[in-house]
Amino acid sequence: MEMKELLKQGIAEALKNAVQAGALPAGDYPDVILEVPPQKEFGDFSTNIAMQSARTAHKAPRQIAQAIVDQMNYSWLRKADIAGAGFINFFLKYDVMYDTLKSILARGADFGKAPFRKDDTAQVEYVSANPTGPLHVGHGRGAAYGSALVNLMRAAGYHVEAEYYINDAGNQMDNLAASVNARYLELLGKPSEIPENGYHGHDIIETAQAIIDQDGDSYLNMPEKERLDIFKDRAYAEKLKALKRDLENFNVHYDHWFSERTLHPDAIQAACDVLKQRGKMYEKDGALWLKSTDYGDDKDRVVIRDNGVPTYLAADIAYHKNKYDRGFKTLINIWGADHHGYVARVKAAMEALGYDPKQLEVLLLQMVSLFRDGKPVKMSKRTGQAITLNELIEEVGADAARYFFIMRSLDTQLDFDLDLAKSHSNENPVYYIQYAHARIYSIYKQAKEAGTDVAMLDWSDVQWQKLQTEEEMELIKKMAAFPDEIIRAARERAPHRIAHFAHELAGLFHSFYNHCRIIQDDKDLEKARLALVTAVRITIANSLAILGVSAPEKM
């Protein structure tokens, strides 16, 4: 058993024994949470369980802490100290710390992962940009964070489905068709004008040119409505294909692509019928309105316009009804910060339909600002338009782009330093982490040149007691925290915690490397340290896998 789990169980058992001994009253005590203290003199792990239990035990936290410590007579525990208001600091014997290394080496790519819980279902819907043009940098942050969150929740044992909602109905698709049509006519020397709400990107010209290259001017004399219908389908198919390709290139993968078109008209009508039956809709000025103020919204919302055309909200109501009906326990949407005001009305609609709005979580994605040479970068040099995700990847690489997008909490604005993301220096966090992983492979190469093939080593007879230095112990403690870090990060929907964890672990490894000689005459110590760095390699690789970042063998 890994040392952190052993300690957790030991504390829980001591708490139970304290209750049975009459030192503490019976009651519903909280779960044990362990932290690595910020300063080494405070021990290997600490817990605030005594402070968390004060309301249940009706005692001072230090009294509760003493009652727990009195019951902790374990052979693997060096000592337990009570500090401050009631923290308990634990100092473990080295033998139990070595069990963590054994577990990492045994579990390999599965180290850190919680058991799969089939019924703990969650759906994460993210990006869901209109298929009307290339993805931009803002979409990239949502793509990186969303896919990392899916990986993280799966590692934490959730049964997760990743979904992309394709906004392929409504005015934006008509505007796409009209924009392509205008460029088509323009390229053929005919008078044309892009509509007011049309798309002006260079990709629209490329789409129109591709149609001409394939079919010439064969659509020129066709009735405009027929031509627009053809161009809508052609442009939609091309844009969606490009969008999927760009996401794949960014290591973003979906289980399900949901088309908005499938909601029109039947699913929207069905959702409206339920709302009417429940008395949650009313007619006014020829339109159908949702009584969203009954559920905390600042005003009621139009669902069906007076001309019978559904609003965007209508499709979103039908879509979220569909999600709930698919039976997910948790629904997570990652939306842009500009959708802040939209959250209340969608949750109001779900509650009006009889669903639990708490099952729906909306994470709001803050802005990304690009900087080069310390100055803001807003436009592409190539097109004069907003910088696309593809252009960013071309400049800094997919790994750096993903890490930089993920390394800050989603609810904070992100300043993306292009120069730092490209640099091969310790200041670049993703390079720093990947270099640690590659450095371990260089250690393997050095060991092989010195006569030890790591691939052939049997870790069952390692003399673990050879590992005694402070740098070695700090590495082991950090790795022991990885499974709990995954659980906590998943619970908080915070993959940036894994980015920070990987960076801190890399820092501890580099410090160890600088202080401890690995390849040496003492072969027992050499083998123990090779086992240690192998555990580090596994843990770094597993961290990067959650982030969707590669773990290179050489750099």
Query: Mind giving me the DSSP string for 395-446?
Result: HH-HHHHHHHHHSS-TTS-EEEEHHHHH--STTSHHHHHHHHHHHHHHHHHH
Residue 93: pLDDT band with limits 50, 70, 90: confident
d(C-alpha 370, C-alpha 383), whole Å: 17
CB 365 within 8 A of CB 351: no
Looking at 1.10.730.10, 3.10.20.90, 3.30.470.20, 1.10.287.620, the CATH number of the domain 426-547 comes to 1.10.730.10
pLDDT tens digits for range 161-214: 999 999 999 899 999 999 999 999 999 999 999 988 899 998 999 999 999 999
CB 143 within 8 A of CB 250: yes
What letters, b where the CB count within 10 A reaches 16 and e where it falls short, cover 57-89?
Answer: bebebbbbbbbbbebbebeebeebebeeebbbb
- 94, pLDDT greater than 90: no
Spatial CA neighbour of 105 closest among 451, 435, 457: 457
Phi, psi of 123, deg, nearest 5:
-120, 135
Structure pTM? 0.91
Give me the pLDDT at residue 515, please: 95
Give me the pLDDT at residue 383, please: 67
Question: For the chain, give me the number of helices (H) and strands (E)?
Answer: 20, 15
Domain 3-92, what fold?
Gyrase A; domain 2 (3.30.1360)
d(C-alpha 221, C-alpha 391), whole Å: 38
d(C-alpha 163, C-alpha 150), whole Å: 10
Of 34-43, 255-264, 462-471, 525-534, the range with the lowest mean pLDDT is 34-43
- 273, pLDDT greater than 70: yes
- 472, pLDDT greater than 70: yes
pLDDT tens digits for range 536-545: 999 999 999 9
The three-class DSSP label of residue 10 is: helix
The answer for residues whose C-beta is within 8 angstroms of residue 245's C-beta and 6 or more apart is none
CB 50 within 8 A of CB 64: yes
Give me the pLDDT at residue 96, please: 84
- 275, pLDDT greater than 70: yes
Residues of the chain with pLDDT > 90: what percent?
Answer: 91
Task: Please indicate whether the domains covering 3-92 and 121-166+255-365 agree at the CATH topology level.
Answer: no
- 382, pLDDT greater than 70: no
Give me the pLDDT at residue 381, please: 64
pLDDT tens digits for range 39-82: 878 898 999 999 999 999 999 999 999 999 999 998 889 999 99
Q: Phi/psi class of residue 59: alpha, beta or left (left: φ > 0; alpha: ψ in -120 to 50)?
A: beta
CA angle 133, 138, 139 (to 5 degrees): 55
pLDDT tens digits for range 330-366: 999 999 999 999 999 999 999 999 999 999 999 999 9
The three-class DSSP label of residue 351 is: helix
Domain positions in the chain: 3-92, 121-166+255-365, 426-547
CATH of domain 121-166+255-365: 3.40.50.620
Residue 95: pLDDT band with limits 50, 70, 90: confident
